[in-house]
Chain A
């Protein structure tokens, strides 16, 4: 038996406080990329009771994703955006999730993200991260943007931090460890960065704007 929407809200409010829970329930967040960062961020936000999520990703699940991405073995080959929506429906049945199988480009970024005051950059390629961040900062100045850069390697997780770069642009990660350096990508360290991003988003929703 799945609890009712009201029971869900009350359960979350018991942990977060009713006033804050209302803010979470009224929030809309777009998650760009549903890999190691995005799948973990989306689940953290859905668990917190965020009301509306849009998941945008063009990729399919591969076996090499399973060390860090929130998918099941029998989901290999499925589109990540759709599989994540399915998984989120089991975790947070009253979270309104839109799955968009699409590649975000400079041309479609504004239309894809319209109506979402908070955007999370959760891509894997550095060029794609830079493209999305530049496009949002240039064209959508009212949007809060939380980006992740630097979570590869087995280095200490303590070097992963959240920095506030401008009024509405937050950057999480160690800013240094590039996956292209060949030092690997470890699920727990990626999760630390994802947790920084998800937590920063919850703080923004709560009206706490310091990094």
Chain B
């Protein structure tokens, strides 16, 4: 299992791009941390998450 924003999800073996698509997130409005480090946007398609990884997906909303 992989922890995404505190929730256990069966996503080991998937790429960040696949997770974003499956969850229905807007890729232009987010930042992704994998085990405490930022995942560069250019690496979403090639970054594969492993068992016990901790992912934080920060989804920005408008207003300021």
Contact = CB atoms under 8 A, between A and B. Distances in A.
Interface of A: 33, 35-38, 122-127, 129-130, 133-134, 137-138, 147-152, 165-167, 171, 173, 175-180, 185, 190
9 contacts: A126-B61, A129-B64, A134-B40, A138-B41, A150-B61, A152-B63, A166-B36, A171-B58, A190-B64
A144 to B, nearest CB: 14
The 4 A-B pairs at the shortest CB distance, nearest first, are namely A179-B63, A124-B64, A178-B61, A137-B38
Nearest to B42: A138
Contacts of B58: 133, 149, 165, 171
Contacts of B28: 127, 130
A166 B37 contact: yes
Given A130-B30, A133-B31, A167-B36, A178 B64 contact: no
Contact of B56 (A122, A165, A176, A185): A165
Interface string B48-64: 00000000101111111
A55 to B, nearest CB: 14
B18 interface: no
Nearest to B64: A124
Given A166-B36, A166-B38, A130 B64 contact: no
Interface of B: 26, 28-31, 33, 36-38, 40-41, 56, 58-64
Given A127-B29, A130-B29, A138 B60 contact: no
Contacts of B37: 166
Contacts of A175: 59, 61
A10 to B, nearest CB: 35
A138 B38 CA distance: 7
A179 B59 contact: no
A126 B30 CA distance: 8
Among A38, A126, A147, A180, residue most surrounded by chain B Cβ atoms (within 10 Å): A126
A100 to B, nearest CB: 18
